[in-house]
A and B are shown apart, each in its own frame.
Chain A
């Protein structure tokens, strides 16, 4: 520890601290622009100059290491004069167009200029003007004359985003911030440069010029698109969501936000919203009032149950719903006598259901995973599924962690990978079993699974060595693993690896409330808090054996189910499809007969449980659009209309109280343990699809966010395959092919990708161009178009 003095305050700081660190630790503010705690130190803006006794000249606080006995003055005459000098330089070429600048009111240059700038400028020469740049649909770089060259944006893309997409070209006064020529900025976390840019050079393209920052109110919320649970500040004007910013939470999203969470709000204000209940009569849709619509629902449910029995009803819930909604939904279903309820709509393999006792989760905190010495990620297209976690793992690797992979494609993760196995989806379990076998050998222990048919290859052994050598390790299953035909085996094997190696084991929760949904019992075989229930059908069974009535809670089956084709067929065959939804989806308009506008996360109070098992509550930030109603209220009324017991809650807190009490000590209810699963390699002939869900098609909200849809990541998918696969089909890279699953054929261009294993065709799902196709990891045919 070093003893120093800042402005007369004595303090001790650890070796290696900078003056800036030390000042922060005692709450002393030093003006700065280029410094950012999560980025490397550039020391280029020079705003943080301070006086250090015995130093001949002012020193930059952000870059100067503290030495023992150092005495620093941050506000002495010398320091302030130096800071004022820098401020003058920053302003001479700055356009000072604050009245028309989008950053006005939240500009660090403006703020600091108030404290350190002069009333008028001594600079009488001509100012520099810098042409605007096109960085793509999300980040505007229209007014680059405002740039102060702090290079935060450059460092962000390189250091956090993982690859350089923004650079500073040219020299001196002619320096310009720009993307690669003719390229846009495509990082899945690019929007963070808007927050980082201290001035109005980089601004939000969707938001700019729509409101002044000081007119907006700031409301806390939680991000709804993945299981991370990023904390949000939702900015609201006149009952409309105007923009979304990160709320810093070091344990979860640090100070970042994925583009998905930042820009999806545009859908909430779009014409695609359902604003009044609608009923279909004689093939035509009619707007109606809630009373009529709910009466229709009650009639439909009682009618089907009277005619076909309760088992003829299936409830499919989206895991992006609030915990309160999912709790009431399962309570209502079960009270009514319906046991067919599930939220795991993209899952294919449910063999572990019976032997499972708790909610699948990450198996550790996010921070624990990010600080592990070794991580094995199985079946995850990380940058699409969990953009911020992928960035966080990249940081972990930089700090020395070993990242190991078992996956179905050899994608660029923009980070160093220690060892990897790239296999077809059905072989994921064999890959993980190899690692287990090697771990068992290294540990001299035996696994509780029959591994006799497993041959351990070198790369698997390297993964095992990495896990065993590490002081702390994590093994995690991603969405591809969870949607694959061998998910239950992966759970069983992963659990054994964890037991033998001491690693944490868990899953990357796909949706915002995947953990909450399991906990409150939106499941066919376990009720609230794991309560035993009469077993119902799971999501796949409800589609495979079509029901007479479906209740869809925030679900668009064609895009949200494992087999969209079968799901749509089941919907079409049903007598009634009751859809609670925030959007007028084309699919729903086709096969549903009643649409009830329920609130998206911004328009209702609720909570999500993230992948580390943390319950995060939020309030509605704007009032519901049109006649939209919060879901929990709708369910409560519906319970009453169905004359069911236990629907007397007056507030969302009343609802929450029913599950949050047990949830408090519910950590025991989080468990990735399974039993009764045997290893068995599925026999496959022909091509198998690798059907991932692209990042901007994961749920109904992002699918309707126009700016996200304009990015490269939302482009119509191509079918990629190993060159050998293409050759066998007589296809060349770039040619148009016909791809078929079941009754559906689509024409798509093909792309050769030597990083794919043989026997697979990679074609994204949930995109309008591919929704008609079948199962995500089912057989698929490829032929010349």
Chain B
């Protein structure tokens, strides 16, 4: 899969060079200048956070929460331990961008997390890495060693009074451990199950201490903002949607891969970059932000620009930036059945509506797909979904319901056809 660098995270990274991830290469690209700038020029914590606010950087993990604002919630004067945690659990179907950051530019993340530690008064950080990308986990450990040897981590960094330790931790592949509080539980050595909020991690996080959790891409964007200024970052994108963003394009395109483009780029352009539709087939539908985001019909997508606001207006979410492209040969009932199976499999099982509802949704869709649908099934799916969404501890239940709602809304006729005629309207082609 190609990485098309046209932004900041992969600016100057030659992904064909096996040493591109090393600290020398990173420094040659201007790496660790942001940290040096902060520590030598004595930029205050407040100023770092103000710069982030100016940049309008929004969380790249899915929810799109403004990062500067999140960092300002940390009780910096709290005397005890505080933590910075990076979420590299990347388990959302369709998403594979954080993996490439670890693979090709891990020091951008490390530098971002060091700056985060500085800005929020934390002396310790952890990166929680998905259990199924073990090679990347090992590479990240090597990068950490490099940073330690170079004096960017440890006691009195670059001769300043600031000390900071950073550690990697790999999970075991549960999707739910990407939810930030489940991640904390797992990091503490417990079963990865989301916590009820409030209290939020900013007041009661890792080991009960104030903690800020951000996505890999979010942290990795920070050095640029410090060296180039928040305003410049903002201007890369569009108002309220600052910067560039990685999009993991998958599905029926000629060149699937990660594309880093300014927020606000038209979807049509992104599709172009990815080589257009494979075999010249017609675009049928796109899930623009990872499996949890509502699906949008191709024609609506072609009117959208790739940023939080435009996609939200169209009725979906930019989410993690995983763009799943589907052509005319996709049976939408079958596609939904796969997604429903995923959530059924990955629910942690604490909350009644999610534990019971994800299985119910899956079974009904499975039945429909196998020609055993009943006339009342679509109404049932809708009603079961309504009883799940917004009634659980974490957003996984909502994530399970969004695809069901959107597939049955935009492609209702395919479901109705299968229920009525016991055979699919679209003869699904695997390709």
Chain A residues packing against B (C-beta within 8 Å): 41-47, 49, 56-58, 60, 63, 65, 82, 85-86, 88-90, 92-93, 122-123, 125-126, 128, 148-149, 151, 167-168, 170-175
User: How many contacting A-B pairs (Cβ < 8 A)?
Assistant: 96
Assuming A46-B391, A125-B364, A168-B191, is B352 touching A148 (CB within 8 A)? Answer: yes
Given A46-B352, A82-B391, A89-B360, 16 new contacts (CB under 8 A): A43-B196, A44-B351, A57-B390, A85-B391, A89-B352, A123-B360, A125-B360, A126-B363, A149-B355, A168-B191, A170-B349, A172-B348, A172-B349, A172-B355, A173-B349, A173-B358
Chain A residues near B367: list those with CB within 8 A.
Answer: 125
- In angstroms, how far is the closest chain B Cβ from the Cβ of A42? 7
Mark B residues whose CB is within 8 Å of A. 174, 176, 191, 196, 198, 344-360, 363-364, 367, 380, 386-387, 390-393
Q: For A45, give the chain B residue with the smallest CB separation.
A: B352
A148 — which chain B residues lie within 8 A by C-beta?
A: 352
Complexed CA–CA distance, A43 and B350 (Å):
9
Contact A56 B390 (CB under 8 A): yes
Given A125-B363, A125-B364, verify A88-B350 contact (CB < 8 Å). Answer: no
A44 to B360, CA, bound (A): 18
Complex Cα distance, B349 from A41, in Å, reads 16
A148 and B355 alpha carbons, distance in the complex (Å): 10
* A122–B352 CB distance below 8 A: no
Could you tell me if B350 and A92 are in contact, using CB atoms closer than 8 angstroms? no
B401 to chain A, nearest CB (A): 13
Q: For the complex, what is the distance from the CA of A45 to the CA of B354, rounded to whole Å?
A: 10
Residues from chain A with Cβ under 8 Å of B380 in the complex: 122
Would you call A90 and B391 a contact (CB within 8 A)? no
How far, in whole Å, are A49 and B196 apart by their CA atoms in the complex?
Answer: 14
Q: Is the CB of B196 within 8 A of A41?
A: yes
Bound CA span A42–B196, Å: 7
Least CB separation from B366: chain A residue: A125
A93, B356: Cβ atoms under 8 Å? Answer: yes
For A41, give the chain B residue with the smallest CB separation.
Answer: B196
Q: Are B346 and A172 in contact (CB under 8 A)?
A: yes
Q: Are B346 and A86 in contact (CB under 8 A)?
A: no
Interchain CB contact under 8 A, B360 and A168: no
23 A-B pairs with CB atoms under 8 Å apart are A42-B196, A46-B352, A46-B392, A58-B390, A58-B391, A65-B198, A82-B387, A85-B387, A86-B352, A86-B387, A86-B391, A89-B355, A90-B352, A93-B359, A125-B360, A149-B350, A171-B174, A171-B345, A172-B344, A172-B347, A172-B348, A172-B355, A173-B344
State the Cβ distance, B172 to closest chain A Cβ, in Å.
11
Give the docked Cα–Cα distance between A68 and B364 (Å): 44
B359 near A173: Cβ-Cβ < 8 Å? yes
> Which residues of the other chain, B, contact A58 by a CB distance below 8 angstroms?
390-391
Q: Is the CB of A44 within 8 A of B393?
A: yes
Judge whether A92 and B345 touch: CB under 8 Å: no
Q: In the bound complex, do residue B391 and residue A171 qualify as a contact, i.e. CB atoms below 8 Å apart?
A: no
* Residues of chain B lying within 8 A (CB to CB) of residue A85: 353, 386-387, 391
Cα A45 to Cα B351 in complex, Å, equals 6
Q: Are A43 and B347 in contact (CB under 8 A)?
A: no
CB distance from B259 to the nearest CB of A (A): 33
- Distance (whole angstroms) from the CB of B354 to the closest CB of chain A: 8
Q: Are B391 and A168 in contact (CB under 8 A)?
A: no
Residues of B contacting A168 with CB < 8 Å? Answer: 191, 349
Cα–Cα distance between A399 and B422 once the two chains are bound (Å): 62
CA distance A82 to B353 in the complex (A): 10
Q: Is the CB of B356 within 8 A of A173?
A: yes
Q: How many Å from the CB of B208 to the closest CB on chain A?
A: 13
Q: B347 near A173 (CB under 8 angstroms)?
A: yes
User: Out of A42, A49, A89, which one reaches B356, CB within 8 Å?
Assistant: A89
Among A41, A49, A122, A171, point to the contact of B347 (Cβ < 8 A). Answer: A171
Assuming the A-B contacts A46-B392, A86-B352, A125-B360, are A171 and B176 also in contact, with contact meaning beta carbons closer than 8 angstroms in the complex?
yes
* CB of A385 to closest CB in B, whole Å: 33
Contact A171 B346 (CB under 8 A): yes
By a CB distance below 8 angstroms, the chain A residues around B353 are: 46, 85-86, 89
Which are the 6 A-B pairs with shortest beta-carbon distances? A85-B387, A172-B347, A175-B349, A57-B390, A89-B356, A125-B363
Contact partner of A171 (CB less than 8 A), chosen from B349, B387, B390, is B349
Q: Separation in Å of the A750 CB from the closest CB of chain B?
A: 35
Looking across the interface, which residue of chain A has its beta carbon closest to that of B358?
A: A172
- Least CB distance from A215 to B in Å reads 32
Shortest Cβ distance from residue B398 to the other chain A in the assembled complex, whole angstroms: 10
Q: Residue of B at shortest CB range from A58?
A: B391
Q: How far is the CA of A63 from the CA of B391 in the complex (A)?
A: 13
Task: Tell me the bound Cα distance from A90 to B196 in angstroms.
Answer: 20
Which residues of chain A have C-beta atoms less than 8 A from B198's C-beta? 65
Alpha-carbon distance A737/B358, docked complex (angstroms): 60
- Write out the residue numbers on chain A whose beta carbons fall within 8 Å of the beta carbon of B346: 171-172
Which residue of A has the minimal Cβ distance to B386? A85
Most buried by B among A60, A170, A171: A171
